[in-house]
Amino acid sequence: DCRMTLGCRVHVVFHGCNQHLERVGDVFVKEAGFPGWADANRLVLLYPQVTTTTINPQACWDWWGYTGRDYLTRNGPQIEAVRRMLDRLAGHSTVSRS
């Protein structure tokens, strides 16, 4: 338990296109090899998910700009969402960076 010891670090695991939970279930989580590595290194794993949309039918993380001009910056909507997840894991309140 990270709260009872020196703490843990967080590793964010981004799935590839067509590797989201709705398509592959927990196969990516179980088979990508991160859980054993995390246990051995006192890491908490965060698996954020992208789902399919009309403009993104393969549920890819935005690498071409479908979420807007800021897609590749810390102000991009997906990166902001992951930041809020990390803040919540750390017990911090979230503040919009807009």
CA distance 26 to 65: 28
pLDDT for 98 equals 41
At residue 32's C-alpha, the angle toward residues 30 and 37, to 5°, is 90
Residue type, 27: V
Task: Tell me the CB-side half-sphere exposure of residue 62, using CA atoms within 13 A.
Answer: 20
d(CA 42, CA 6): 10
Give me the residues of the chain with pLDDT under 50, please.
95, 97-98
Q: Summarize pLDDT for 70-79 with one digit per residue, the tens.
A: 999 999 999 9
Global pTM reads 0.84
For the chain, the maximum distance between any two Cα atoms, rounded to a whole number of angstroms, is: 45
